[in-house]
């Protein structure tokens, strides 16, 4: 672990996403057609759930719930922020190294971000099998 990581393990962007997780939580009850993708890690107990509402081929709403470290929460927030409004295929395009670089996530937390990638893939599989729409 670097000296910088020891003295301040969280970048300003991680702290900002962590403090303002606007995409956190389940979707409101009226979106009962939301599709869910989930991934968990038994060793640490970390867990990510993604909830999506899709209109035709576009991710209209994307929310998450996370039990995990600040880096994972920030990564989920950043991912939802970027993927909302994008084609469903975007869910498969999570750039793990790019996201880690953007948020300055230490390499030892790679497994946590891969958990987010797994949840996104699980969500994509469900969506491409049964694409739900708001109407």
Partner 1 sequence: MLSNSAEPVYLDYAATTPVDPQVAEAMSEYLTVGGTFANPASIHAAGRQSAAAVERAREQLADLLSASPHELIWTSGATESVNLGIIGAARFRSDRGKHLITMPTEHKAVTDTFRALEREGFEVTYLMPDTNGLLALDEFEAAIRDDTQLVSVMHVNNETGIIQNIQRIGECCRQRDILLHVDAAQSVGKLPTDLSLLPVDLLSLTAHKFYGPKGIGALYMADRPGCHVLPLFHGGGQERGLRPGTLPVHQIVGLGAAASLARSRQVEDLVHLQGLEARLWSGIGNIPGILRNGSETKSFPGILSVSIEGIEGESLMLALEPLCVGSGSACNSRNSESSTVLRALGRDDALAQSAVRFSFGRDTTNDEIDLAIGCYADAINHLRAISPQHTRTA
Task: State yes or no: residue 39 binds partner 1 (CB under 8 A).
Answer: no
User: In this structure, how many other beta carbons lie within 10 angstroms of the beta carbon of residue 67?
Assistant: 14
| Closest approach of partner 1 to the CB of residue 19, in Å | 4
Q: From residue 59 to residue 98, what is the string marking binding to partner 1 with x (rule CB under 8 A)?
A: ------xxxxxx--x-------------------------
Q: How many residues bind partner 1 (CB under 8 A)?
A: 21
Task: State yes or no: residue 107 binds partner 1 (CB under 8 A).
Answer: no
DSSP string for residues in 38-86: EEE-TTT--EEEEEEEEETTEEEEEEEEEES-HHHHHHHHHHHHHHTTS
Nearest to 71 by CA among 101, 27, 39, 41: 101
* Minimum CB distance to partner 1 smaller for 15 or for 56: 15
Which residues are near partner 1 by CB under 8 A? 6, 10, 15, 18-21, 24-26, 45-47, 49, 65-70, 73
């Amino acid at each position: 672990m670097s000296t910088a990581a020891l003295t301040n393990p969280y970048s300003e962007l991680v702290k900002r996403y962590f403090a303002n997780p606007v995409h956190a939580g389940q979707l409101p009850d009226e979106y009962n057609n939301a599709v869910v993708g989930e991934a968990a890690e038994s060793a640490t107990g970390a867990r990510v759930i993604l909830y999506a509402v899709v209109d035709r081929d576009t991710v209209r709403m994307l929310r998450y719930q996370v039990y995990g470290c600040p880096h994972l929460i920030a990564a989920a927030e950043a991912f939802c922020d970027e993927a909302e409004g994008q084609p469903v295929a975007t869910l498969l395009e999570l750039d793990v190294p790019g996201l880690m670089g953007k948020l300055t996530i230490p390499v030892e937390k790679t497994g946590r971000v891969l958990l987010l990638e797994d949840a996104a893939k699980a969500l994509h599989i469900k969506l491409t099998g049964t694409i739900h729409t708001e109407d």
